[in-house]
Amino acid sequence: MKSTMLAVLALVALVSTAPAPLIARAPPNIPTTSAAQTQLTGLRVAAQGSQTGYSRDLFPHWSTISGACNTRETVLQRDGTGVVTDSACTSTSGRWFSPYDGATWSAASDVDIDHVVPLSNAWKSGAASWSTSRRQTFANDLTNPQLIAVTDNVNQAKSDQGPESWKPPVTSYYCTYAKMWIKVKSVYSLTVTSAEKSALTSMLNSC
């Protein structure tokens, strides 16, 4: 009886200290496949513009959202599981699932916040003519599926490439990625190249 009780207590202790189940979260307002197809049809096809004059500084990013929390920390909390922050809103612990490559991380330093449509791509597809205020809104957009927590080196490998030249390593994520990309380009009336549109069409066909 005593050994049984000890075993039960050990099991209870193990369960109570087990980490919370990791939740695969998604950015807000990802359209349905049908809506994404309609939005893609509505995007203007044009050759990519010039990179001349581009600087990340022209897209003020990681704005303060609430208290000490900036955009990066806000997305880390939104996309993570069991995230703990300090008084400066820095994520000190938690777990993050990166849907691009299927990896899981327990240190925020291993996670980047990806701009789904890269700032440079936006510049070359319409944002060069925007006001600084509009570019700031784009770079810190928490309303549309423009920001997502992913593995840092995967994000760095993506750089400023469009879906015609870079896709998430996890092929089952093509559908979601394409829908996010299309939604953002549609909201901000950004153009797409013919190669980009072809890649997005193919990715939507995987939905």
The pLDDT of residue 25 is 83
The pLDDT of residue 22: 73
pLDDT bucket at 91, cuts 50 / 70 / 90: very high
pLDDT at 18: 53
Q: What is the pLDDT of residue 143?
A: 98
**pLDDT average, residue stretch 54-67:** 96
Cβ pair 175, 143 in contact under 8 A: no
CB-based burial label for 1 (10 Å; 0-12, 13-18, 19+): exposed
- In the predicted model, what is the mean pLDDT of residues 172-196? 98
Residue 69: pLDDT over 90: yes
Q: Return the number of other C-beta atoms located less than 10 Å from residue 102's C-beta.
A: 14
pLDDT over 90 (residue 19):
no
Burial of 51 (0-12, 13-18, 19+ CB in 10 A): exposed
Residue type, 80: G
The pLDDT-based confidence of 20 (bands split at 50, 70, 90) is low
Q: How confident is the model at residue 172 (pLDDT cuts 50, 70, 90)?
A: very high
The token duo for 110 is 């291993």
Residue 6 has pLDDT above 80, yes or no: no
Query: What integer is the mean pLDDT of 66-75?
Result: 96
- pLDDT above 90 coverage of the chain, percent: 87
b/e map 118-154, b = 16+ CB within 10 Å = bbbbbbbbbbbebeeeebbbbbbbeebbbbbbbbbeb
Higher pLDDT, 42 or 21: 42
Both tokens assigned to 42: 């509505």
pLDDT(15) > 60: no
What is the per-residue pLDDT for 9? 41
Using DSSP bridges, classify how beta strands 69-70 and 80-85 pair: parallel, antiparallel or unpaired. unpaired
pLDDT (mean) for 136-160:
98
pTM, two decimals, is 0.90
C-beta separation of 58 from 75 below 8 A? no
